[in-house]
Structure 1
Amino acid sequence: MIDRVDLPAVFMTYQQELMSSVSAYAVTVVEKSRRTGYSWAAAAIAALTASAARGAGGDDVYYMGYEKEMTREFIDYVAEWAKEFQCAASAVEEFVFKDPDHPEKDIGAFRIRFASGFEVVALPSVARALRGKQGLVILDEAAFMDDLEGILKAAMALLIWGGKVVVISTHFGEANPFNVLINDIRGGRADYKLLRCTFDDAMDQGLYERICLRKGEAATPEGKEAFHADILKKYRHNADEELNVIPSPLTGTWLPGVLLEARMDAAIPVLRWAPPAPTGGAGPFVTWPEATREREVQAWLDAEVAPLLAKLDRDAPHAFGQDFARKVDLSCMWPLAIGKDLVRRTPFVLELRNMPFAQQKQVLNFVCDGLPRLRALALDATGNGGAHAEAAADRYGSRVIQVTMSEPWYRENMPPLKTAFEDGAITIPKDRDIETDFRMVKLVRGVPRVVERTVDEAGQRHGDAAIAAALAYVASRAEPESYGYEPVPPRGAPGASRSDDDDDDMGRGRLELRGSIF
């Protein structure tokens, strides 16, 4: 017998998030694992919405599933919730839905009427079924609907008069309109609320314990592990899409070549540094004395980089990204200037091969000190990059975003970059190696990321420029808020504007407000 004293909350955390989101947002989209109970929670939302008076947010609710049995099951859920909530409601009714485009055809549908005057109606999944309707629309397992694009178009029309739309689904391929919608949200094209729940997320939030409670069984750690393993075994090769919320992959590159070429500008320079060849019995560059290495790199910065920094628009905000590498791959630094038209323009790109840690810090400081109105820096803090990013944070404070590269990071941050390419909101150098780096970004488990390396006469590449550009774009979208001390560039360095006789800055730096704290 189960102890009824410590009963859990009625709704699990991810179900509570759905209810909160529907209350707060006009459009909520959920990408989910199979059999996690979202339809059950959505039925509770439907019952509460239809049973409330108009002044309390009440409205009609229209539900669509991709087949009739789903609609009947959902209406039964609503009836159960109406009973639990003690709402005055009719019994489930099956009625004939008159197709507005084909009046000669009768389609069976279900509904429950509430004393509030509103109703929950389960309609066939055709766009014309929403014509002339107003209220809350719930699309369940939307990816499997025959005309999801048309249904979404019809559903969004309800927003004009204050309606709401909820789209819930398991994935059904990368090219599916549902996944297109997800990418539009992540890319910033659609201002909708996105929720995500994998099978593991549901397990962590009490799915197994809830199943045991319903079955009248005791939940144990051993039982939970066995249940998890059994479900994964049953789904086998379909587990990624069905349970892990990863749409089945397509072949090909992430960014089409024609799109890359459309954003390329031959006027953008790419500066490449490699260790000087040993001469006069000197060993490899890394073994040179620190001061000698610093002078060598500073000479390159003064000759090649400083003139580019001097040409930058002093009124334009700038951002900076770096994909860090020490020996095998390239360390790529990518500035971005943010124009008044919000186009992110690349002024130049630096590629550093086998540059010691201290000199990479030297280059970063020189470039970032010279970038006007530096908004933020997004730095690869994975592995050896961690110490480099920390050093930058010591100098530039909260403007530094230290990024540990991971699948969730790629999932959230690569789609906005692709949107920028599609919208013409970014420029990149017209350079063969940089184009190759972008072409190395592939869709892996539904997430764009670099999966291979290339080797040319200069050495090995691992999509370094593409990742640096993605980091720079992240930094360009950041809105850091800070109050702190900002060093003034050394006299004579790019960006310095005071003469040697000007002591207003006390020879050290300036205290200023940064960000948007007012």
Structure 2
Amino acid sequence: MNNTDKYFLPFQTRWINDSSRLKIVEKSRQIGFSYCTAYSAVRRVAAEEERLDVWVSSRDDAQARLFLEDCKEWARTMQIAEPDADEVVFDSKTDFSAHVLQFKTGLRIYSLSSNPNALAGKRGHVILDEFALHADQRLLYRIAKPVTTWGGQLEIISTHRGANSVFNEMIRGIKENGNKMGWSHHKVTLHDAIAEGLVERINAKTGRNESREAYLARVESECLDQEQWLQEYCCVPADETSAFITYDMISGCEDDCLKDFNYLAECKNPLYLGVDVGRKRDLTVMDVGEKIGDVIWDRLRIEMQGRTFAEQEFELERLLALPKLRRACIDATGIGMQLAERARERFGWKVEPVMFTAPMKEELAFPLRGAFEDRTLRIARDPQLRADLRGIKKEITTSGNIRFVGESADSHCDRFWAKALRHHAAAYRGGVGAMVG
């Protein structure tokens, strides 16, 4: 394809043209790396002299599909015959599968979801997209690297996800320990991308006429907190030393697991509810989980802000009336007292009002963190939930007591406390009369 400047900014062109055996980029979000990487993959498998397939590991199935959509679009733009699209099952026992495009050369682009074992025994070029978001980065790398043994290239593309990630370990090895593995290292912050023309490209696509300064200010203002801005857009990994729940804990439990109310109404497994009641500008959050075996899955989260007491009570009673709702813990602090007391009067023993005293917060927070450590939770992939989970910090007061502090831009970590209350509810054994861990 001639005149690639028409399609790519300089930092994208540098990435496309880098033929190093190992290349890695720490990048800002939403600057077009998947776009240029899809082009590179299509160009590679469409070449007559090429002999290796391309394997792409994305963080989830939705991203795997989107990558192949970009590849198909590039095939049309490059006037390559429309490739065949299909889903191929590699292992019927474990149900590992991939979305695949096959080109006239006989070569394929395989786009896989995040399970590392799907790459085992394969051969070709490997692209690990959003590497730091994968649940087991170390295992993924160990399986992916041998795939490139017979002349393949390994590409790692990611934003940061905490200072303790394997991705950041690799970046530090490059910057601080002499780059012994021999990576070709790229780094593109949002500031870098803007300096090379990103805003003008966005304006051309959207029809806006936003200045570089205005775009940068707007993106920063739309972040939930400073940590999100620095990590997602400035390539600064978050400090994990003060975090109560780390990124590794969160990413290890994330899944596409939310359902709707109709699912809950027909659910056969026990359901548990946690409710954090908003005060002034805070959210009221109602969090429902389904317990399957020893794992609790996020199923529904209702968030309300500025809603009347009657509206909140209606939603709460609808959930409490679910046939499989076994237990609910409701924040009874401040204005939550009335909501909790009325629910207790109507639904009896299944409702537990909880006062947010300092000892009670400790009793709620630590078991929830333990569930993250043990991976006995599956939570929805949601940047607002992630911000609340990350927002909680543990502090020791001068008198030696523990207190929990922290907030995100739109709440005082209400989503964290709703989930902690839900976990507390699920720890109750009906008929025993005691809370268990």
The answer on 1:232 being equivalent to 2:220 is yes
SS at match of 1:146: coil
Give deviations 1:221-252, integer Å, cap 9, x for gaps: xx332221110111231111011000001439
Where does residue 42 of structure 1 map in the other structure? 37
Cα separation, partners in 2 of 1:63 and 1:191, compared to 1, 3 Å: same
Task: Report the AA paired with residue 68 of structure 2.
Answer: I
Alignment of 1:272-287 (within 5 A): none
Cα distance in structure 2, aligned partners of 1:127 and 1:137: 12
CA contact (8 A) 1:89 1:112 kept: no
Match of 1:202 among 187, 193, 218: 193
Cα distance in structure 2, aligned partners of 1:90 and 1:7: 22
CA contact (8 A) 1:171 1:178 kept: yes
SS at match of 2:114: coil
Give deviations 1:266-298, integer Å, cap 9, x for gaps: xxxxxxxxxxxxxxxxxxxxxxxxxxxxxxxxx
Give unpaired runs (5+ residues) of structure 1: 1-5, 253-518
Where does residue 122 of structure 1 map in the other structure? 111
Where does residue 3 of structure 1 map in the other structure? none
Where does residue 356 of structure 2 map in the other structure? none
Cα distance in structure 2, aligned partners of 1:244 and 1:213: 24
Task: Report the AA paired with residue 126 of structure 2.
Answer: V
The answer on 1:87 being equivalent to 2:80 is yes
Where does residue 161 of structure 2 map in the other structure? 172
Give unpaired runs (5+ residues) of structure 2: 243-437
Match of 1:156 among 121, 135, 145: 145
Give deviations 1:98-137, integer Å, cap 9, x for gaps: 2xxxx42324421100001100011122222112211111
Give deviations 1:24-83, integer Å, cap 9, x for gaps: x00110000011100010000110111112x3x452111111111100000000000011
Cα separation, partners in 2 of 1:130 and 1:244, compared to 1, 3 Å: same
Cα distance in structure 1, aligned partners of 2:126 and 2:4: 32
Match of 1:182 among 150, 154, 171: 171
The answer on 1:10 being equivalent to 2:3 is no
Cα distance in structure 2, aligned partners of 1:110 and 1:160: 23
Cα distance in structure 1, aligned partners of 2:206 and 2:128: 29
Where does residue 182 of structure 2 map in the other structure? 191
CA contact (8 A) 1:173 1:247 kept: yes
Where does residue 69 of structure 2 map in the other structure? 76
CA RMSD of superposed structures (Å): 2.0
Task: Report the AA paired with residue 197 of structure 1.
Answer: V
Cα distance in structure 1, aligned partners of 2:85 and 2:150: 28
Task: Report the AA paired with residue 9 of structure 2.
Answer: M
Give deviations 1:287-320, integer Å, cap 9, x for gaps: xxxxxxxxxxxxxxxxxxxxxxxxxxxxxxxxxx
Cα separation, partners in 2 of 1:244 and 1:106, compared to 1, 3 Å: same
The answer on 1:112 being equivalent to 2:105 is no
CA contact (8 A) 2:96 2:118 kept: no
Cα distance in structure 2, aligned partners of 1:84 and 1:115: 16
Cα separation, partners in 2 of 1:46 and 1:143, compared to 1, 3 Å: same
1:91 to partner: Cα distance: 3.3
Where does residue 121 of structure 2 map in the other structure? 132
Cα distance in structure 1, aligned partners of 2:68 and 2:4: 26
CA contact (8 A) 2:97 2:118 kept: no
Cα distance in structure 2, aligned partners of 1:192 and 1:8: 26
SS at match of 1:161: coil
The answer on 1:214 being equivalent to 2:205 is yes
SS at match of 1:208: helix
Where does residue 17 of structure 2 map in the other structure? 20
Cα distance in structure 2, aligned partners of 1:80 and 1:125: 23
SS at match of 1:117: coil
CA contact (8 A) 2:28 2:188 kept: yes
Cα distance in structure 2, aligned partners of 1:31 and 1:177: 13
1:153 to partner: Cα distance: 1.3
Task: Report the AA paired with residue 240 of structure 1.
Answer: L
Cα separation, partners in 2 of 1:48 and 1:19, compared to 1, 3 Å: same
Q: Which has the larger radius of gyration?
A: 1
The answer on 1:243 being equivalent to 2:233 is yes
Cα distance in structure 2, aligned partners of 1:47 and 1:172: 29
Where does residue 310 of structure 1 map in the other structure? none
**TM-score, scaled relative to structure 1:** 0.44
Task: Report the AA paired with residue 234 of structure 1.
Answer: E
Cα separation, partners in 2 of 1:7 and 1:161, compared to 1, 3 Å: closer
* Greater shift in the superposed pair: 31-40 or 122-131: 122-131
Cα distance in structure 2, aligned partners of 1:74 and 1:122: 7
SS at match of 1:34: coil
Cα distance in structure 2, aligned partners of 1:230 and 1:140: 26
* Greater shift in the superposed pair: 107-116 or 59-68: 107-116
Task: Report the AA paired with residue 29 of structure 1.
Answer: I
Task: Report the AA paired with residue 194 of structure 1.
Answer: H
Identity %: 31
1:8 to partner: Cα distance: 5.7
**TM-score, scaled relative to structure 2:** 0.52
SS at match of 1:243: helix
Cα distance in structure 2, aligned partners of 1:251 and 1:45: 38
Task: Report the AA paired with residue 111 of structure 1.
Answer: V
Cα separation, partners in 2 of 1:41 and 1:33, compared to 1, 3 Å: same
Cα distance in structure 2, aligned partners of 1:160 and 1:108: 22
Cα distance in structure 2, aligned partners of 1:112 and 1:135: 15
CA contact (8 A) 2:126 2:148 kept: no
Alignment of 1:470-509 (within 5 A): none
CA contact (8 A) 2:64 2:112 kept: yes
Where does residue 258 of structure 2 map in the other structure? none
CA contact (8 A) 1:158 1:164 kept: no
1:7 to partner: Cα distance: 11
Task: Report the AA paired with residue 42 of structure 2.
Answer: A
Cα distance in structure 2, aligned partners of 1:90 and 1:200: 36
